[in-house]
């Protein structure tokens, strides 16, 4: 595309829309294609979704916080099963707002007689990625973003654990990468939690698991074949589950307001929302930001 072209799409290569080259994509397609082929209902909140806007357009989506541009539209199978209200990556938008939007859409789409929650749902809570201090907005420390993220996850689990779908639900929680929190064993390691009436309480797994393990376990739960050799060859997460369910609802703990104050963390629909901060949110996995953090730690 030429700069300023009215054609759909834009000029950059970022995140989930990394390239247009065929070798960048699985021969059998994505997990979304896999679900569609096997008629499995699914829905996505914020994961790998970027809406095409002209690269020179300075407007921002009020709900989604989108600031990235893309080189091609989101694939149809994903776009047709994705929330248009849920905020994507922008650390200036509190994760509390994302949970609010999830609860709103859940209530509209799946609460009530005759409605059915999708078999597979993805929810993106990105503020564990961190950003710089914004005390006036409830983030006095960089660690405040982690507190925001923890509270959002707790609220999400509490809400779902009180739903009629909880008795048949499993929630898998992980991070995309360890970033500035290098693990003491290997820098490639990241966290993984399984939350479910059927998960073992207080269990620490010593199975060599991976992102493929999460996908493989999802295929097992949904009765689907493997998509490729990577999830087929991965270890599953069977040792984290029990045959004795405990359907007790979860009770989320509040955040320490000295670390993160949700009362100050306004959502984009509030008239006092800091729109300048929204525009200045750090880019996802920006090399300069990461190098800056590393230099600070060395000093």
Contacts of 198 (CB under 8 A, 6+ apart): 170, 241, 242, 243, 245
Domain annotation covers residue 23: no
pLDDT higher than 80, residue 95: yes
pLDDT higher than 70, residue 48: no
CATH number at residue 172: 3.40.720
Instruction: Report how far residue 55's alpha carbon sits from residue 8's, in angstroms, rounded to the nearest whole number.
Output: 10
With 0-12 CB in 10 A as exposed, 13-18 as middle and 19+ as buried, what is 270?
exposed
Report the SS3 class of residue 100. Answer: helix
Return the minimum-mean-pLDDT range out of 101-115, 156-170, 276-290: 276-290
Look at the chain and report how many structural domains it folds into. 1
The 8-class DSSP code of residue 118 comes to -
Instruction: Report how far residue 195's alpha carbon sits from residue 239's, in angstroms, rounded to the nearest whole number.
Output: 13
Query: What's the CA dihedral at 15, 170, 235, 180 to 10 degrees?
Result: 40
Instruction: Tell me the CA distances in angstroms from 211 to 140, 214, 272, one per residue in order.
Output: 33, 5, 40
Residue with tokens 């420390």: 141
Dihedral (CA of 270, 275, 280, 283) sign = positive
Beta-bridge partners for 120? 42
Q: Above pLDDT 90, what percent of the chain?
A: 53
Domain annotation covers residue 2: no
Domain annotation covers residue 149: yes
Instruction: Report how far residue 74's alpha carbon sits from residue 52's, in angstroms, rounded to the nearest whole number.
Output: 8
Residue 52's pLDDT band (cuts 50, 70, 90): very low
pLDDT of residue 152: 97
Instruction: Report how far residue 199's alpha carbon sits from residue 242's, in angstroms, rounded to the nearest whole number.
Output: 6
- Phi, psi (5° rounding) for residue 210? -155, 180
What's the rounded mean pLDDT across residues 65-89? 72
Contacts of 185 (CB under 8 A, 6+ apart): none
Q: Looking at the chain, which runs of residues are DSSP E strands? A: 42-45, 120-123, 171-174, 192-195
Domain annotation covers residue 19: no
Residue 64's pLDDT band (cuts 50, 70, 90): low
Rg of the chain (C-alpha set): 20
Instruction: Report how far residue 186's alpha carbon sits from residue 122's, in angstroms, rounded to the nearest whole number.
Output: 27
95-110 and 144-161 helices cross at what angle (nearest 10)?
20
What's the rounded mean pLDDT across residues 72-89? 80
Domain annotation covers residue 52: no
Residue 166's pLDDT band (cuts 50, 70, 90): very high
Residue 188's pLDDT band (cuts 50, 70, 90): confident
| Residue-number span of the structural domain to which 159 is assigned | 31-45+79-298
Residue 202's pLDDT band (cuts 50, 70, 90): very high
Domain annotation covers residue 206: yes
Residue with tokens 């629909």: 269
> How far apart, in Å, do the first and last CA atoms of the chain sit?
44
Do the Cβ atoms of 114 and 57 come closer than 8 Å?
Answer: no
């Amino acid at each position: 595309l030429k700069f300023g072209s009215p054609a759909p799409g834009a000029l950059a290569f970022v995140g989930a829309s990394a390239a247009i080259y065929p070798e960048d994509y699985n021969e059998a397609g994505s997990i979304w294609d896999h679900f569609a082929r096997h008629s499995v209902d699914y829905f996505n909140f914020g994961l790998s979704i970027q809406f095409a806007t002209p690269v020179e357009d300075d407007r921002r989506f009020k709900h989604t916080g989108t600031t990235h541009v893309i080189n091609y539209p989101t694939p149809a199978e994903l776009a047709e099963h994705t929330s248009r209200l849920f905020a994507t990556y922008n650390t200036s938008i509190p994760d509390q707002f994302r949970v609010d939007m999830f609860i709103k859409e859940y209530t509209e789409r799946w609460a009530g007689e005759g409605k059915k929650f999708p078999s597979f749902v993805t929810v993106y809570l990105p503020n564990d990625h961190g950003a710089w201090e914004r005390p006036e907005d409830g983030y006095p420390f960089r660690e405040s973003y982690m507190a925001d993220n923890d509270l959002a996850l707790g609220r999400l689990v509490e809400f779902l654990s009180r739903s009629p779908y909880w008795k048949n639900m499993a929630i898998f929680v992980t991070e995309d990468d360890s970033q500035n929190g290098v693990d003491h064993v290997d820098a490639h390691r990241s966290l993984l939690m399984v939350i479910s009436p059927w998960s073992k309480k207080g269990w620490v797994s010593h199975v060599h698991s991976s992102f493929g393990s999460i996908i493989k376990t999802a295929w097992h739960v949904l009765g689907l074949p493997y998509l490729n050799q990577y999830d087929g060859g991965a270890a599953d997460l069977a040792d984290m589950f029990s045959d004795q369910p405990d359907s007790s609802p979860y009770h989320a703990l509040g955040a320490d307001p000295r670390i993160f104050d949700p009362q100050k963390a306004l959502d984009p629909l509030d008239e006092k929302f800091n729109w300048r901060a929204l525009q200045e949110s750090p880019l996802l996995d920006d090399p300069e930001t990461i190098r800056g953090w590393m230099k600070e730690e060395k000093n």
